[in-house]
Chains A and B, each alone.
Chain A
């Protein structure tokens, strides 16, 4: 177990570095000492202020919540990725496969297109915009649909679930297509940018909700790591070892749906994090979920915070949708791993 702890340590250090870099860099220049004094002021530990009100607003209202949201969202996506891949015993699975993202996209596009007609839909509920609530409901709805179809009395059939996921994805895709067809230019732009993801709308409220979700999801999945390890032998075998496989399945599906649903609802669709992070971690040779789960939380946070840093600084003062960056950075790594594995199989 010595090597995995080292890797976790390295990941933690890298994540910390990425957080510091993300806080330090951005379109508005803020000197590290100014950054520290803004924080000290906010916590009431110092009233020495050498920064402008504008810098304070940028750090406190925009950059910090954004960096924290990126770390938490990345961690949630990668955690769900590990759990879902473990459950399906399929390295190609990602949370999107059970319809979470496409369901969110479907309901989000309905919300975007009809909000022009029903203006109350543009409002907020308890500080969260209607679009976020709608997208979250959509992701849970479609995941619940897939789950229900795959349910046989007291069991959940995992292969039925994969197929049901494909069907639900197709339906959601078609409905989204209809809405794209009837949308006007404005709504179409809204839709397009939504499906490319952005962390630009991050607030402290979002970050707080995601933090609670991350803590809960992490604890649930970490306690399931033994079950996930057993799953890799096959469902029957896992049951023989004495794992209560049905309750493990239920928990994985429910908590991944909530975790991914919430990140998609807040940030739009950010692809590849859930798929690629577990893969990168498996290069280390460790397939033990006691290692993979904490590593995924760290690695996911690292990947998404770095991607968002790139998204908002590469073309500053403009911004690239972060989904493009994660795909651009993630896909080549994924291909590289595939090619490597091809050689080792020979």
Chain B
């Protein structure tokens, strides 16, 4: 008898819980609930019309502006698996080299689809990433549009008569100044925009020293908006030791752009390259 009651009870709960579930889901328009753990991936997802499906992001997801009001899960290297699961996502997007294997395992065991992507920092790499991301969310059509947009935007580049040597400085306060070497997003952006990177011969980033700065002797300094802020404005840049004796320092040639925009290699790549190209041309003209 007791067994029968138990069976009845469980049958009841099952039959009750299933329809309750589905109504809960239908009240929300989008089917998927997405957590995106990379700024560029968030941009791609939003640009292909999935912004309303996104329920949470990491700290680097700063564009579009409207995404900022969603729950922030913190830095990709110190994520809380339970915090992600609490947003009850169906899919989690991230970059292969950023997501820790333990986290991936925990999410998969909670029944969440984890989609990890590799990104190559080039025009083709961006297009491939857009294609791959859009394929996972059945948004191939919007993906194609985004890719054509990049190509169209890139047509806006004008060639430069005098090719400037550009030095990108990654700043996090006056104590931490780094310059971008081979293989970095910024080196790729500089060459895509038709200019030369003022430093080369080393991979990744290197701390900036006054001697190296003089040796590089750049025509133009390129920085992120956040970097300029960390130096408390433009004056902070010109007072970097050694800067005053470089060509850029003497003529105060500076280009400032948003970090995610200019280094994200996402759907705004073509736009960012063209804008950088325009800005470099205009400062180049004033200096010559």
**Which chain A residues have a beta carbon within 8 Å of chain B's beta carbons?**
26-29, 47-50, 53-54, 57-58, 61-63, 122, 124, 129, 181, 184-186, 189-190, 192-193, 196, 198, 200-201, 203, 312, 315-319, 321
Cβ–Cβ contact A318 & B74, under 8 A: yes
Cβ–Cβ contact A28 & B106, under 8 A: no
A210 CB, min distance to chain B CBs, angstroms? 16
Contact code string B98-137 (vs A, CB < 8 Å = 1, else 0): 1011110010011100000000000000000000000000
Q: Which of B81-89, B224-232, B233-241 contacts A (4 or more CB under 8 A)?
A: B81-89
- Residues from chain A with a CB closer than 8 A to the CB of B204 are 184-185
Q: Does B65 reach chain A (CB closer than 8 Å)?
A: no
* Known contacts A63-B82, A129-B101, A181-B207; is-contact A53 B111 (Cβ 8 Å): yes
Of the candidates A48, A49, A186, A200, which one forms a contact with B98 in the assembled complex, judged by CB atoms under 8 Å apart?
A: A186
Of the candidates B13, B83, B97, B102, which one forms a contact with A319 in the assembled complex, judged by CB atoms under 8 Å apart?
A: B83
Which of B98, B100, B110 has the largest count of A CB atoms less than 10 A from its CB?
B110
**Which chain B residues have a beta carbon within 8 Å of chain A's beta carbons?**
6, 9-10, 13, 56, 71-75, 77-88, 97-98, 100-103, 106, 109-111, 204-205, 207
Q: Give CA–CA (A220, B23) in the complex, Å.
A: 59
B109 CB, min distance to chain A CBs, angstroms? 4
Cβ–Cβ contact B110 & A58, under 8 A: yes
Q: Give CA–CA (A319, B98) in the complex, Å.
A: 17
- Residues from chain A with a CB closer than 8 A to the CB of B111 are 53-54, 57
Cβ–Cβ contact A200 & B80, under 8 A: yes
Cβ–Cβ contact B80 & A61, under 8 A: no
Of the candidates B9, B84, B109, which one forms a contact with A48 in the assembled complex, judged by CB atoms under 8 Å apart?
A: B9
- Residues from chain A with a CB closer than 8 A to the CB of B56 are 317
Count of chain A to chain B residue pairs whose CB atoms are closer than 8 Å in the complex: 98
A180 CB, min distance to chain B CBs, angstroms? 11
Closest residue of chain B to A54 (Cβ to Cβ) is B110
Cβ–Cβ contact A189 & B75, under 8 A: yes
Cβ–Cβ contact B110 & A57, under 8 A: yes
Cβ–Cβ contact A319 & B79, under 8 A: yes
Of the candidates A29, A57, A198, which one forms a contact with B78 in the assembled complex, judged by CB atoms under 8 Å apart?
A: A198
Cβ–Cβ contact B83 & A316, under 8 A: yes
Closest residue of chain B to A194 (Cβ to Cβ) is B77
A69 CB, min distance to chain B CBs, angstroms? 12
Q: Give CA–CA (A189, B98) in the complex, Å.
A: 10
Cβ–Cβ contact A193 & B83, under 8 A: no
Cβ–Cβ contact A27 & B83, under 8 A: yes
Cβ–Cβ contact A201 & B102, under 8 A: yes
Cβ–Cβ contact B101 & A318, under 8 A: no
B233 CB, min distance to chain A CBs, angstroms? 24
Cβ–Cβ contact A58 & B102, under 8 A: no
Cβ–Cβ contact A317 & B71, under 8 A: yes
Q: Give CA–CA (A207, B283) in the complex, Å.
A: 60
Q: Give CA–CA (A62, B204) in the complex, Å.
A: 35
Besides A54-B88, A61-B110, 16 other A-B contacts (C-beta < 8 A) = A27-B80, A27-B83, A29-B86, A49-B10, A57-B109, A58-B82, A58-B110, A184-B205, A185-B204, A193-B77, A200-B80, A315-B74, A317-B73, A318-B74, A318-B78, A319-B78
Closest residue of chain A to B81 (Cβ to Cβ) is A62
- 26 A-B pairs with C-beta separation under 8 A: A27-B83, A28-B82, A47-B10, A48-B6, A50-B13, A54-B110, A61-B109, A62-B85, A181-B207, A185-B204, A189-B75, A189-B77, A193-B77, A200-B78, A200-B102, A201-B102, A312-B80, A315-B74, A316-B82, A317-B80, A317-B83, A317-B86, A318-B74, A318-B78, A318-B80, A319-B83
Q: Give CA–CA (A186, B77) in the complex, Å.
A: 9
